[in-house]
Amino acid sequence: MGKLQLLNMLEENKGCLGMILVQLAYAGMAMFSKAAIDRGMNPYIFVVYRQAFATITLAPFAFFLDRKNTDHPLSYRLILKIFLSSLFGITLSSNLYSYAINYVSATFASVGINTIPALTFLVAIIFRFEKCSIRNSAGIAKVVGSGLSLSGAMVFAFVKGPLVRLMKCSNSMNSKNSNEKWVQGCMLMLAANFIWASWFVMQAPLVKQYPSKFRLIMLQCFFSCTQSSIWAMAMERDISSWRLKWDLNLFSVAYCGIVVNGISFWLQLWAVEKKGPFYAAAFTPLILIFTALFSLFLWNEMLYLGSFCGAILLIGGLYCVIWGKNKETQINDDQEKVDAKEGMVV
């Protein structure tokens, strides 16, 4: 009876468990990327190998799951759009992220991920993919939430305050970096996430033209691998820097490519299909919590009062955006039902 209850409980909460695993995966991405680059791995080469592993991981899914979808063939114009989307979105943002993480903490890298929903909303407003009216509570919540999220990230990055001693800690992992490098790294990290948010907006018209999602992502990872290889070869001429050994560097690039780009993508896709995008987005703050805890215990990373205040602002802003978007969707659905009923009456 105990086993049956346990199985039923797991079945009822599999969506929640899946999203928790996704957030753990992203927290691991921040930590392992930081660890590999701190150990001396070239950040541009890191991106090349990461995208290579991602392409290999996604290829079987693209072949078996999307092979029946032949209604939308690839044209030269569409390939060019996918290539440019990959260049601007994945390649540029990934290289900026990998370069910036050398100068910031893994915790701040996870903070940047939490700003992506708000940044995506702002970019969508700029390019008119999203409408926002401040005449209703939903629109106000999205605007206020976006402002709170970005303010929280800035407070986390630039406001320290008293040291919060949750345990005895020595020097921070980032004590070797000057304050100037910290600021530079924070700004580059935010720029990387702004570009990544822009990439999300770019996917809306691309998915309409080419709905084979696995193939679309795989092609972009492949193009990104090729583009990043050219950039990395131009920046790093030493052949020995490209060699991977059986060490943390190999594990890190394999983890980011397979677990993050492969397994986590599938879990997120499943959650969006079954539960909706807001359900998946609601778990995003767990990345920050997991990364902060792991960094504290594994690397003795120092945390400040400003970091906690910034995290509270960011998480509060994120939920404001999610609530506003969810409320707006409910209003639109209700209006469509009313219009449908009126149409039937007529």
Task: For CA atoms 105, 106, 110, 115, give the dihedral sign.
Answer: positive
User: In sequence order, which residues have a C-beta less than 8 Å from that of residue 114 and are 6 or more positions away?
Assistant: 149, 153, 284, 285, 287, 288, 314, 315, 318
**Mean pLDDT, the chain, whole residue set:** 80
pLDDT digits (tens, 9 = 90+) for 38-62: 888 999 999 999 999 999 998 988 8
Could you give the 3-state DSSP secondary structure of residue 302?
coil
Confidence at residue 177, expressed as pLDDT on a 0 to 100 scale: 52
For the segment 227-248, the average pLDDT, to the nearest whole number, is 91
**C-alpha torsion sign, points 122, 123, 127, 131:** negative
Q: Which residues pair with 304 in a beta bridge?
A: 163
Task: List, in order, residues 6 or more apart from 139 with CB less than 8 Å away.
Answer: 132, 133, 324, 328
Lowest mean pLDDT among 19-33, 62-76, 89-103, 162-176: 162-176
d(CA 227, CA 94): 11
The DSSP symbol for 258 reads I
Is the confidence at residue 225, as pLDDT, over 90? yes
- Residue 84: which pLDDT band, with cuts at 50, 70 and 90? very high
Over 90: is that where the pLDDT of 255 sits?
yes
**Phi, psi for residue 212 in degrees, rounded to 5:** -75, 90
HSE toward the beta carbon, residue 345, CA cutoff 13 A:
6
pLDDT of residue 87: 94
How does 126-145 read in b/e, with b if 16+ C-beta sit within 10 Å?
A: eeeebebeeeeebbebbbbb
Look at residue 339 in the predicted model and tell me its pLDDT: 65
Mean pLDDT value across residues 202-230: 88
Which range is least confidently modeled, 141-155, 169-183, 268-282? Answer: 169-183
Higher pLDDT: 52 or 13? It is 52
Residue 172's pLDDT is what? 44
| Contact partners, residue 259, CB within 8 Å, separation at least 6 | 25, 28, 29
Q: What is the pLDDT of residue 252?
A: 93
pLDDT at position 170 is 46
- Are the CB atoms for 86 and 223 separated by under 8 Å? yes
Interhelix angle for 14-38 vs 43-65, to 10°? Answer: 150
Could you give the percent of the chain with pLDDT greater than 90?
A: 20
- What pLDDT does 79 receive? 93
Q: Which helix (H) or strand (E) holds 53?
A: helix 43-65
pLDDT at 276: 60
**pLDDT at position 52:** 94
**Band (173; pLDDT cuts 50, 70, 90):** very low
The residue that leads in pLDDT, 81 or 131, is: 81
Lowest mean pLDDT among 54-63, 159-168, 211-220, 288-297: 159-168
Q: What does the pLDDT look like over 108-146, one tens digit per residue?
A: 888 888 787 778 778 888 877 767 777 778 788 888 888
Q: How confident is the model at residue 12 (pLDDT cuts 50, 70, 90)?
A: low
Does the pLDDT at position 211 exceed 70?
A: yes
Beta carbons of 148 and 320 less than 8 angstroms apart = yes
Local confidence band at 272 (pLDDT 50, 70, 90 cut-offs): low
pLDDT confidence tier of residue 168, bands split at 50, 70 and 90: low
pLDDT at site 128: 73
Helix (H), strand (E) at residue 164? strand 163-164
**Does the CA dihedral 160-113-84-325 come out positive or negative?**
negative
Lookup result for tokens 């504290």: 296
Which residues pair with residue 164 across a beta bridge?
303
Instruction: Tell me which residue of 320, 301, 325 sits closest to 110, measured CA to CA.
Output: 301
* Residue 176 pLDDT grade (very low, low, confident, very high; cuts 50, 70, 90): very low
Q: Which of 298, 312, 293, 292 is nearest to 107 (CA)?
A: 292
**CA separation for the pair 118, 197 (Å, rounded):** 9
What angle is formed at CA 43 by the lines to CA 38 and CA 44, rounded to 5 degrees?
Answer: 170
Look at 164-178, 219-233, 265-279, 291-305 and tell me which has the smallest mean pLDDT: 164-178
Structure tokens, 6? 């346990």
Q: How far apart are CA 193 and CA 265, in angstroms?
A: 17
- Asked if 219 and 82 count as a contact pair (C-beta separation under 8 A), the reply is yes
User: Cβ distance 257 to 57 under 8 Å?
Assistant: yes
